[in-house]
Amino acid sequence: MKLHTYFRSSASYRVRIALLLKGLPYEFLPVHLVRGEQKQPAYASHVGDALVPSLITDDGHWLTQSMAIIEYLDETHAQTPLLPSDALGRAHVRALAQMVACEIHPLNNLRVLKYLVKDLAVSDEAKTAWYAHWVRSGLEAFERQLALLDAERKADGLPESLYCWGDTPTLAECCLIPQIFNAQRFNVDLDGLPRLMAVVERCNALPAFVAAHPSACPDAE
C-alpha cells in the first residue's frame, strides 16, 4: 500500500497510527500541504477534494478520507482490531472518534486557519484564540464523555477502561492523539483533563504511536 501523507496533517497522522498498530507495511508518499503540492494535477486528478491522506491499495484503488481509510483497513486486516466486537462498543468508539474528526478538527484545520488570516484579515492573535477556544471546548466535551462511559461500564459490571473504551487502542485513539499533538503545538491549555491525558500518556508509550509521530516522518521539517 502507498500512503499520501503530510507529517503534520492530523488526518494523515490518524491513518499512520492505524497502519502501524496493525503492523501493515506501506510506502510513505509525502504531499507538502503548505507548498500546495496537493493541488498539483498529478495528485488532485485522483482525489476529488485534493486533501490528504489518500491510500493506494495493493490492487491500485485510491481511497480518501481518513475515517473511511481506517475502517477499510479494519475490515480487510483482522489483526489488532480498531473497533470493538460488539455493536454497543463500536457505537461508543465511533462517537468518540467523531467528536474529534467531525466536531473539533474541521474548525481548526489548515484551510480554515489560512482563510481566517488571508481572506477575513483576522490577526494571528485572534486566529490563535479561535483555535484554542474550539479545541479546548471540544476536548472538555471529550473528557466529559469519557467520564460518562466509565460510569456506564461500572454500572454494567465492566472493568474501567485503560484507553477510551476498553484495554486496547481503538479508532478513538487514532483520532485523539493527533489532535492532542496539534493542541500542544498551539499551546492549548490541557489541564483538567485527567481521563483524556491518561489515555494520551499510555498511547505515547506504545511503539506504533511513537513511529507514527510527525517527528518520525521522512518529511518532518
pLDDT at 67: 98
Same domain, 71 and 120: no
Same domain, 126 and 33: no
Q: What is d(CA 163, CA 194) in angstroms, rounded to the nearest whole number? A: 12
pTM above 0.85, yes or no: yes
22-43: average pLDDT: 95
**Structural domain boundaries enclosing 15:** 2-80
Q: Beta strands 62-64 and 54-56: pairing type?
A: antiparallel
Same domain, 120 and 177: yes
Same domain, 27 and 119: no
CA 31 to chain centroid: 17
**Cell numbers at residue 115, please?**
482563510
Q: In sequence order, what are the residues at sequence separation of 6 or more whose Cβ sits closer than 8 angstroms to the Cβ of residue 60?
A: none
Same domain, 51 and 92: no
CA angle 47, 170, 16 (to 5 degrees): 40
How many domains is the chain built from? 2
pLDDT, one tens digit per residue, over 180-211 is 999 999 999 999 999 999 999 999 999 999 99
Where is the domain boundary, 51, 80, 109?
A: 80
Q: What is the CATH number for 28?
A: 3.40.30.10
54-81: average pLDDT: 97
The answer to whether residue 221 scores a pLDDT higher than 80 is no
Are the CB atoms for 152 and 144 separated by under 8 Å? no
Q: Does residue 153 fall inside a structural domain?
A: yes
Same domain, 113 and 171: yes
